[in-house]
Chain A
Amino acid sequence: MKYIVTIGLETHVQLKTKSKMFCGCANTFAAEPNTLVCPICLGYPGALPAMNREAVKLTVIAGLMLGCEISRYSKFDRKNYFYPDAAKNYQISQLDMPLCRGGGVEIQVPGGSKRINLNRIHLEEDVAKSVHHARSSGVDFNRSGMALMEIVSEPEINSVQEAIAYMRALRQILVYADVSDCNLEEGNMRSDVNISIRPENTTELGTKVELKNMNSFRHIQDALTFEIERQKAALSTGGRVVQETRRWDLDLGETISMRTKEDAQDYRYFPEPDLPPVVFTDDLLDGWRKELPELPEHKRVRFTTDYGLPEYDAEVLCAQLPVANFFEEAVECGAQPKNASNWIMTDVLRLLGQTELEISDTPLSSAAFASLLKLVDDKVINMPVAKELIAELFEKGGDPAVIVKERGLLQVSDASAIEGFAREAVEKNPKVVEDFKGGKKAALQFLVGQVMKLSRGKANPKMAAEVIQEIISEG
């Protein structure tokens, strides 16, 4: 029997604020455990939350970028439960009046695009991190109270591929919105995934299973694939799927039951009395709307119209905002757009792929890149030199014009010098010359290669080929 898969995601995104959601503690990673804490994020008696306006703004910016409707009036609620990761034994979140409603994300699917609608985006505080040791458990409250935005999709995702595409598209927009680093390794972006399957030709949704805290595309892919097969196996052998929460066990490569619906918590939500409601005026929202960064899809279209790039190029360049910015800066510095695009798509992205860095964090500046392209264009250096040089610039930085001058890498386009190298190559390789005469085109490339070698890579290869042919035909 065939089954239809239904997936919905609740994605938690840590916002790029300077301080935590309700206190002045720094919002940074990798500090010693329990050093970024205060009475508020530790839940001391009498400490009160004070709303971080920046977090509210970033959530609204994300909402506007995702096409959400922004609530003119929203409020915070308490979600009550006992666990050591909740400093107050409740978490401040938003229940029925979230900051943003609706919105959606376009994803690419075979044969076109598909819109995944969003249900809502709300703002809450992150909980502390539990660390389990062999004989004890510890809690690191550095994460307690960090600003966390939860983006809830409608259950409109129908395959593992769509789920991954949704996550990627969402991440791209949030990076464009500059609201989060969306660094999955650091736990900036974690998703709870709801998944159910139902037989084809039925309309009622199947029993859903929630997969908790998925923080890498790879895990989501593996876990969803496993879970779909598990549920199919259960249904096709006459069994049933139990409503429960499961987690992905990396070592076993399986999803494991954490709790069933029977032990579901009653969170006893009620309006947070320590915080006033959040009210926006039209003026304020209009102001924020004007500041909005460009959406990835708009940038892609603009790259094709403004720079005359093929759609494929625009897609590749815009996939990462820093790369798109790098491209535009290089063009600004005088690089020819298509030429710059070619170089980025081949050399720059290849070099970038060998690192963990963003292009903006490498020593290669867009100005140096543009200047390198100009040196090639003006035939000051040849292509092999340029390829070597870009790798060097990527690693160490510098001004290509200066490096070329200092090292004498200028392309040799002087006909007499090239003729000298060419004669030497022809004389030393009589057999190859015969092959060429016999019609072997590749023999010419070999001879050009010899000229490049003799010139230590500086000869203009095009001229070298011409001169070699002249000598042989004279010959």
Chain B
Amino acid sequence: MSLDISEMTLSAAMDGLAQKDFSSVELVNAVRDAIAEKDENIGAYLAFDADTILQDASEADALRAKGDERCLLGIPIALKDLFNVEGQPCTCASKMLENYIAPFDATVISKIKAAGAFPAGRLNMDELAIGTTTENSAFKLTKNPVAPDRVPGGSSGGSAAAVAGGMALASLATDSGGSIRLPASYCGCVGFKPSYGRVSRYGVAPYASSLDQVGTMTKTVEDAAILLSAIAGCDQRDQTTHNVPVPDYREMLAGSSLEGLRIGVPREYFVDGVDSEVLDSVRAAIDKFAKAGAHVEEMSLPHTEYAISAYYICSTAEASSNLARLDGVRYGKRSVTDDRGDLNDMYFTSRTEGLGPDVKRRIIFGTFVLSSGRYEEYYVRALKVRTLVKQDFNEAFKKFDVLMTPVTAGVAHKFGETQNDPLKATLNDMFLAPVNMAGICGISIPCGKSSEGLPVGMQIIGPSFGEVTLLRAADACEKELGL
């Protein structure tokens, strides 16, 4: 019987390889078979270069035969399509980069390769990580593997769908305002955003530099801990990373317990507009944790309401500048409509044709808030709010180990419905973006199901560089919930 990876965790795969229950080649073949079987209906992958991946797998098998025992040896890792891997496409699901071949490895890619793993497939996303449903992809629609008439969430929709849909052991993605946690919640997997500066951003196509962070999409908290140990660390190529030692996060999970865990429950996150099923699931979970010995207390993050506008301003401002390089001059799509050779025409046409409507909207908004005469009114004030949001969390973590909230205001919605419920979309951003604004860490874990059987997630928030505390808490919660 051939290998089945649909329920297989990263840690189980590592054990299976170590005990020689199966080879890396068999594992990759199982991934390929799963994709062949399911992805036509899901659409998580943009590319899966089986020849190259199988070659990496057989090299890993050969190394293992020679006694190589690196922890991730032979493990295929799927990637959101914005990580540069030398010689591979990196489209960011944008027409602008449709034919772009990355000339270098992102630091996280070098790191997973050094740990013995290898890149295995490119996953769909909202174009240039802009969006919350993955509908903004210029190339294909990704469906929620739990309910194919519904969105997987975004922007890392392909990453969540591949893991939750049993087509990948784990994937790497990015989260600038919820792009990992939201799709994880919609698809029912574990989505983890580490603290800003914990993981290098070098080689990761940016959305908003001060908010972007590389994270993981996995089936369990343990798997998230395993991957974090592989990708975290200070990088001279990304001077916003911090020189803080990287522990073996998986080992640090040993003996995780809810006993005595101080949980803060911010009342700003339990408000009108959130689906009652979501509120009920999250509250029920927190009650369980209290019964298991955690100290649960309602508290306040008073600037939550303002964080959202500040987030829009900061993120679009940075994005307008970060995305300016996509001009077709040195790489990417270059359109020329006439032979006058006018430079501005070339920029205008290339970007008009190469970028999607949501990307354009954000660029225009970001350009506006940075423009002369608006800068003080918008950008400078947004930075002040950002400081206040950080202070809210700093105060909270003096008293609490972690905070618990809903991830989203509702479960995954049907395609095309986003526009009909702007309040929910705003609440989603309000629950997720403050974590990025403060640079702290957050994780989304499944905590229940709606009456329609759709996944409901809960968000656990930890302090800056408090990954050990956060992951231990999440691990204990996951066990308690027994999902």
Contact = CB atoms under 8 A, between A and B. Distances in A.
Q: Is B one of A's binding partners?
A: yes
A280 interface: no
Contacts of A275: 239-240
Interface string A47-79: 111110000000000000000000000000010
Given A43-B325, A82-B324, A276-B240, A270 B330 contact: no
A39 interface: yes
B239 A276 contact: yes
A155 B447 CA distance: 67
B65 interface: no
Nearest to B380: A270
A39 B203 CA distance: 9
Given A273-B209, A274-B240, A276-B239, A45 B325 contact: yes
B206 interface: yes
B118 interface: no
A89 B84 contact: no
B209 A39 contact: no
Contacts of B100: 45
A268 B209 contact: no
Given A88-B324, A89-B325, A47 B203 contact: yes
A273 B237 contact: no
B147 to A, nearest CB: 33
B438 to A, nearest CB: 15
Contacts, number: 103
Contacts of B190: none
Contacts of B146: none
B321 A78 contact: yes
Main secondary structure of the interface of A (DSSP, over half): loop
B317 interface: yes
Interface string B198-213: 0001111110111000
B135 interface: no
Contacts of A83: 343
Given A39-B103, A45-B84, A47-B202, A87 B330 contact: yes
Nearest to B373: A266
Contacts of A39: 84, 103-104
Interface residues of A, number: 31
Contact of B106 (A46, A82, A270): A46
A46 B83 CA distance: 8
A327 interface: no
A268 B370 CA distance: 5
Contacts of A90: 321, 324
Interface of A: 39, 42-51, 78, 80, 82-84, 87-90, 136, 139, 141, 266, 268-270, 273-276
Interface of B: 82-84, 90, 92, 97, 100, 102-104, 106, 201-206, 208-210, 236-240, 317-318, 320-321, 324-327, 329-331, 341, 343-344, 347, 367, 370-372, 375, 379
The list of the 8 closest CB pairs from A to B, nearest first, reads: A89-B324, A273-B209, A268-B370, A273-B210, A45-B205, A46-B203, A43-B325, A88-B325
13 contacts: A43-B330, A44-B104, A44-B325, A45-B90, A46-B204, A47-B104, A80-B320, A88-B325, A90-B324, A270-B318, A270-B370, A270-B375, A273-B240
